[in-house]
Chain A
Amino acid sequence: MKRTIPILVVLAALLAAMAVVNPFFLEPAGFLAFVKRAAPLVILAAGQYFVIVSGEFDLSVGSLVTVEVVVAARLIDGQESATWWVLLLLVAIGALVGLVNGLVTTLLSVPSFITTLGMLLILSGAVFLWTGGAPRGALSQAFRVFGRGDLGPVPWSVVILVVVAAAAVLLMRADFGKRLMATGDNDRAAALSGVRVARTRILAFVLSGLAAAVAGILLGGFAGVSAQVGQGLEFSAITAVVLGGVVLGGGRGSVVAAMAGAFSLEALFALLNLYGISGPLEYTVQGVIIIAAVAAGAAQFPSRLRAST
């Protein structure tokens, strides 16, 4: 739990800084608007956390989000009646992509970096092959509600985020979480203690695929249909998880910290905007901060760093 504290302090500082620059942020509406914008990345970070903590990478989530949005637009094509079965299909696609990633990584012993890089190429190629180069069709109103609508005073996406976050925390507290942690820490030791390592990792990839599906549904409603909707999200998600103090290589870090890392990243972007640093230099600042944060983490807890097993 000690590893969670630094990112929570950073997040609190960033939120306080936002409140100082923009007092509207302190009102419920302003704060909820921020959470709503952050929700897709936070959900993706939760999914990516499962994969990273099990000792793997998932580079395919960005293109998976694009696939979800483009497929939804093409299949719904403005018909309200198609919304529900398409939503189910999207969740199934997410789970299927995660399952394939997991099976190839574990059963064929392909490093997950390569598996998910191949999946990235396949997904982005396949979806545009199917749509003929540019996204077509339109989302229905019922579909867009999840990304931009409200449930009473609270945006739908915030409700979904809370549910996902609660599920993620509960999963990590359950037996599955302990097995996942053990697998990422030392898969041989975990296997010898009776953990089904392959099955655990496959499930982690499925969870990441499901998270990408949910994030795609939210982003489709929030940002609309475009071929660039998921671009670079895999790196943002991995960055968020690492910012939360989760160690690449697995076995260390909490899901709450990973989600806090995603919130911090979004808060940082919002803050940079408020201070008038927008556009390209945002990337530069982001790069410097990521390196600095990870370097600080490594310097702070040298004894807790994974030995080079």
Chain B
Amino acid sequence: MSGHGPPPVPTGERRADGGPPPGRRAGRPDGPRRTRAGRPAAGVLKEIDPTKAVYVALAATLLGGWLLVAIDGGDFLTTETIVGIQQRSAALGIVAVGQTLAILAGSLDLSVAYLISLSSLVAAEVMAGRDGAILPAVGAVLAVSALVGLVNGTLITRLRVHAFIATLGTALILRGVIDHFYDGPAGSVPVSFQSLGYDRIGPVPVAALLWAAVAVAAWVLLRRTRTGHRIYAVGGDPEVARLSGVRTGRVVVLTHVLCSVCAGIAGLLLAARLGAGAPTVGTDGGYDLESIAAVVLGGTALAGGRGGVAGTVGGVLLLAVLDSVFNQLEVNSFFKDVVRGVVIVAAVAVYALRGRKRRAA
């Protein structure tokens, strides 16, 4: 047992799915034609690639939504809807990018929802309506969230607490602290900072640009740096990664710090939108389970080692477009949950089917 946490997805069989190099399976005669996930070599396009599948599904949903809304007598692709989709998805998108890093490394983070609430409170309390306090507030939020990530990562790697339990425990601790000190909105955010939540450049909200920046940064980290390759290696097979000289513990801690910082940024964004800190903003949005769902919808394997940020962005957009279509059709909000549940399970079932076909081949 090396310094990493036990695998988050329990079955031995599924564990074997994540091969050490990104996207490639260990010990299977995959041959050279199967390259890294997201870039199948020519001639194998008939296989379903999760990252592409989610964008195909996204396009289909957009088209279907446009048709349904048109039949209903509305206009789907208005600037308003497009801005709305981006606004709705920005906060979840930022959290989901962070969650992608943790999941790729074979871990997961259930504490992000409470951390988002805490970040919004820290931001609004430090700012207290003053323009001059924006930078210290942002610094404080990033420091607090990085610390929470460090604690999560350390619990998982040093104390060998399963990621599920460690981050659930951290979530409970944060919940107790938040509920003890706050029972309603607190602090206030100056108008200049609120522009982060509401301003837009043409049809693109600033919040969406922030999300794009976070996503691109994570993509560069994963695809273009040594650290990124280590993350895939650790998620694919921690033991092999360790034997190849990767300090697996450090990698897992780093992904947790980055995941928590992403949650902190989402908290800043939500504070800007609400104009104050709110103790329930993270849990009301269901950001913990929903971010995991978006990551998995984007084709990243829950066991780690396979997938990427591009898929996650598609997954978040898909959820937001679904939401938007339902809103326009004025569908009951409970029905939305039902459909969302079906979509998530169905998508993962399709990806799993593809995995089995490969294995059989």
Which A residues contact B (CB, under 8 angstroms)?
52, 55-57, 59, 104, 108-111, 113-115, 117-122, 124-126, 128-129, 133, 184, 186-188, 235, 238-239, 242, 247-250, 279-288, 290-291, 294-295, 298-299, 302, 305-309
Contact = CB atoms under 8 A, between A and B. Distances in A.
B274 to A, nearest CB: 21
Contacts of A109: 14, 349, 352-353, 355-356
Contacts of B161: 291, 294-295, 298
B177 to A, nearest CB: 6
Contacts of A188: 12-13
Contacts of B360: none
A187 B12 contact: yes
Contacts of B168: 235, 238-239, 287, 290
A295 B177 contact: no
B71 interface: no
B252 interface: no
Contacts of A299: 159-160
22 contacts: A56-B11, A109-B14, A110-B348, A113-B8, A120-B341, A122-B338, A122-B342, A124-B334, A125-B335, A129-B334, A133-B334, A235-B168, A248-B10, A281-B180, A285-B176, A290-B165, A290-B169, A295-B159, A295-B160, A298-B159, A302-B160, A305-B160
B179 A121 contact: no
A298 B302 contact: no
A286 B349 CA distance: 35
Most chain A CB within a 10 A radius of its CB, from B6, B302, B335, B356? B6
Grouping DSSP codes into helix (H, G, I), strand (E, B) and loop, the A interface class, with mixed when no group exceeds half, is helix
B292 interface: yes
B95 interface: no
A283 B173 contact: yes
Contacts of B175: 280, 283-284, 287
A249 B7 contact: yes
Contact of B345 (A118, A280, A282): A118
Contact of B10 (A56, A120, A122, A295): A56
Nearest to A107: B349
A108 B349 CA distance: 5
A196 to B, nearest CB: 14
A118 B155 contact: no
A263 B172 CA distance: 19
Contacts of B4: 308
Interface of B: 1-2, 4, 6-16, 155, 159-162, 164-166, 168-180, 237-239, 289, 292-293, 296, 302-303, 332, 334-342, 344-345, 348-349, 352-353, 355-356
B345 A110 contact: yes
Nearest to A101: B345
Nearest to B179: A280
Contacts of A52: 10
Given A121-B340, A125-B338, A279-B180, 12 more contacts: A55-B11, A59-B289, A104-B345, A109-B355, A111-B9, A120-B289, A125-B339, A235-B168, A282-B176, A287-B171, A291-B169, A294-B166
Nearest to B180: A280
B288 to A, nearest CB: 10
A276 to B, nearest CB: 14
B240 to A, nearest CB: 10
Q: Which 9 A-B pairs have the closest CB atoms?
A: A284-B176, A125-B337, A287-B172, A280-B179, A121-B341, A118-B345, A283-B176, A122-B341, A287-B173
B349 A104 contact: yes
Nearest to B175: A283
Interface of B is mostly: helix
A128 B11 contact: no
A124 B169 contact: no
Given A290-B172, A294-B165, A126 B10 contact: no
A53 to B, nearest CB: 10
A122 B338 CA distance: 4
A120 B356 CA distance: 26
A271 B145 CA distance: 32
A122 B180 contact: no
Nearest to A60: B341
A302 B293 CA distance: 32
A129 B332 contact: yes
A128 B164 CA distance: 29
B344 A291 contact: no
Contacts of A279: 179-180
Contacts of A121: 337-338, 340-341, 344
A43 to B, nearest CB: 21
A111 B14 contact: yes
Contacts of A57: 10, 164
A247 B5 CA distance: 12
Contact of B155 (A186, A280, A291): A291
Contacts of A308: 1-2, 4, 6-7, 15, 237-239
Contacts of A298: 159-161
Contacts of B11: 55-56, 187, 250
Residue in B2, B303, B338 whose Cβ sees the most chain A Cβ within 10 Å:
B338
Nearest to A124: B337
Contact of A186 (B6, B9, B12, B339): B12
Contacts of A111: 9, 14, 296, 302-303, 348
Contacts of B339: 125
Contact of B162 (A55, A110, A248, A281): A248
Contacts of A133: 334
Contacts of B289: 59, 117, 120
Nearest to A296: B159
Contacts of B336: 125
A305 B238 CA distance: 15
A129 B289 CA distance: 21
Contacts of B172: 283-284, 286-287, 290
B353 to A, nearest CB: 7
